[in-house]
Amino acid sequence: MGRISLPENGMNKEDVLSRLESFKSDDVKWHDGQLFGLIYEAGQDVEDLVKEAHSLFLIENGLSPMAFPSLVKMETEVVSIVTALSGGDDETVGNITSGGTESIFMAMKAARDWARETYPNIVKPEMVVPVTAHPAWNKAAHYLGLKINMTPVKDDLRADVAAMENALTENTIILGGTAVTYPHGMIDPIEEIGRLAREDNLWLHVDACLGGLMLPFLKKLGNDIGPYDFSVPGVTSISADIHKYAYTPKGVSTVMYRKRDFRKFQIFAYADWPGGVYATPCLAGGRPGGNIAAAWAVFQYLGEQGFLALAKKARTAAEKLMDGINAMPQLCVLGEPRATVFAFGSDEINIYELAARMAERGWHIDAQHLPPSLHMTVSPIHLAAADKFLVDLRHTIPEVPPADSEELSEPAAMYAMLGTMPDRKMAKEFAVEYINDLYRVS
Ligand SMILES: Cc1ncc(COP(=O)(O)O)c(C=O)c1O
């Protein structure tokens, strides 16, 4: 195993920066819209703004509201904007977290601790969540000692609420729904799940990490987006990521609660530390001020009209891509996605090999399974890239072997193998080994 130690003498600044720049050479080229996921790009002006706003508060620490009231002001204003966009009212509260995973984690922790007080007889709490929910839910369940029961989705790839009802046990405390699901871009029937939550007084968390800052604008533009937010009775908490469709650097999300009484279960306080009374709203201790400032800046800079224009661009790009893909006889978009995220598959050609061949043309598309498909998270900048993508796709299809071909390139074969391995425990172990191996100096 390699080892890198601290250099004896420092390098000059120019050399450090040029080394950093050189590290990017093997990274995916995302600026031209060649990546569908991971990065949400609105354009150069927004990127420049968030960079400047971020660097103004780069060093400030969100841990201390006393030392940095500026960050508390910006955080509460950002949360107020996002709660208003999420159907909240004067009672709705929330915080900025480091991302969707932390937001979901905090909501699950609050729900668990609420249930400890509300249902003291439940010692083995459970939650019921559709299989299309993001793995952040499984991670939260794992860390928090909650049993997670995953229920199937219907043919339209949205939560099957009858299956959720059947999965309820006397230990169930939490129900989950997602708007927009990552794998297929669907909006779960939150109103129906809300009814279920109210019947049994369960905590309902809506994961709007992906859709929270896109759906309100698509709705205003006249798209058919059903109710999914605090306007639905029974919704207790919502997560909405700012670092997705509000285009900030990674590390900014919001977790919101219908009322203060629920948020108190999120907060951690320890009063007996020699370092003083310690209390934090979320998981992190120190929190990057730059991220909070970037979030505040993007809302002020774009305003409602700016967000509407970007939502329109992203949806137009998604429609163009979906129509173009559906027009290719070998390919088919899964379900009827209403927002800016979708997946497509094929009964005829090997979809993983298609991704591998498109990668040779510079397009980075993530592979999915159950069923095999390719993932497309569409950003406003994809409007300019959509035609080129469709041309490349059309040219690539004839090179791709049939769906059941065993003659696949290495990345396609690897993904096909992992997706179809009947022993899912083995697939999990493989993934752990992969990560364990990856993070070491080579
Ligand atoms: C629906 C949904 N929930 C949660 C997450 C997790 O967010 P993060 O990667 O910011 O932790 C994602 C990420 O893509 C998502 O799409």
CATH of the domain at 142: 3.40.640.10
Q: What is the pLDDT of residue 12?
A: 97
Phi/psi of residue 106, each to 5°?
Answer: -65, -40
Q: Whose Cα sits closest to atom 7 in ligand 1?
A: 100
Residues 155 and 287 in one domain: yes
Residues 125 and 168 in one domain: yes
Mutate to test the pocket of ligand 1, among 210, 242, 340 (most ligand atoms within 8 A of CB): 210
**122 occurs within a structural domain:** yes
**13 occurs within a structural domain:** no
**128 occurs within a structural domain:** yes
**Interval 4-23: pLDDT, tens:** 999 999 999 999 999 999 99
**15 occurs within a structural domain:** no
**Interval 86-98: pLDDT, tens:** 999 999 999 999 9
CATH number of the structural domain spanning residue 338? 3.90.1150.10
Q: What is the pLDDT of residue 411?
A: 84
Q: Whose Cα sits closest to atom 5 in ligand 1?
A: 100
Q: Considering its fold, how many domains does the chain have in total?
A: 2
> Which residue, 276, 298, 320, sits at the end of a domain?
298
Tell me the CA–centroid distance for residue 136 and ligand 1, in Å.
7
Average the pLDDT over 312-327 and give the result.
98
Please identify, by atom number, the ligand 1 atom nearest to the C-alpha of residue 250: 10
Residues 258 and 314 in one domain: no
**Interval 291-315: pLDDT, tens:** 999 999 999 999 999 999 999 999 9
Residues 365 and 220 in one domain: no
**208 occurs within a structural domain:** yes
- Between strands 237-241 and 203-207, the pairing is parallel
Tell me the CA–centroid distance for residue 100 and ligand 1, in Å.
5
**92 occurs within a structural domain:** yes
**5 occurs within a structural domain:** no
The backbone region for 334, taken as left when phi is positive above 0, alpha when psi lies in -120 to 50, beta otherwise, is beta
The whole-angstrom distance between residue 93's C-alpha and the CA centroid of its chain comes to 21
Residues 235 and 336 in one domain: no
182 three-class SS: coil
Tell me the CA–centroid distance for residue 241 and ligand 1, in Å.
8
pLDDT surpassing 70 at residue 1: no
Residues 106 and 200 in one domain: yes
Residues 246 and 337 in one domain: no
Tell me the CA–centroid distance for residue 131 and ligand 1, in Å.
14
State the residue for tokens 């493989």: 430
**Interval 15-73: pLDDT, tens:** 999 999 999 998 988 988 999 999 999 999 999 999 999 999 999 999 999 999 999 99
Element (H, E) at 314: helix 289-326
**47 occurs within a structural domain:** no
Residues 239 and 220 in one domain: yes
Residues 262 and 322 in one domain: no
DSSP string for 226-291: ---STTSTT--EEEEESTTTT-PPSS-EEEEESSHHHHTTT-EEE---TT--EEESSS-SS-BHHH
For 408, the domain range is: 303-436
